[in-house]
Amino acid sequence: MSGFRTAASHREIQPVELKDMLANGSALLIDVREPDEFAAGHIAGAVNIPLSAFSPRNVPDAAGRTVVLQCAGGKRSGIALDRCAQAHAAIDTHLGGGIGAWKHAGLPVVAGE
């Protein structure tokens, strides 16, 4: 669990579910952490759109995939989901516990841009 309250419209997935979605090509992962955090270690295939500049309009075309937002622990991705809801964007999913939960599950991260 992330420990952060999320709005009722927020769907929270767990690391293993995200891993499977990425493996079968059904997810587009957006990392909303800042560029220095992203460069220090991120989930392979993630696109970095920092919360400081996040807008649903900046999210690339998902081509039928589920857009999943992710941050360090779940708080910033929840804020980004709130922005999506306000903009009536069809983005409602984030990684519960963020990259911290991903690492805790023993899943790999990559460094660099």
pLDDT digits (tens, 9 = 90+) for 14-51: 999 999 999 999 999 999 999 999 999 999 999 999 99
Say how far apart CA 103 and CA 91 lie, in whole Å: 24
pLDDT of 87: 94
Q: What is the pTM of this model?
A: 0.91
pLDDT digits (tens, 9 = 90+) for 6-22: 455 789 999 999 999 99
Q: Which domains does the chain have, with CATH numbers?
A: 11-104 (3.40.250.10)
| Total residues belonging to the chain | 113
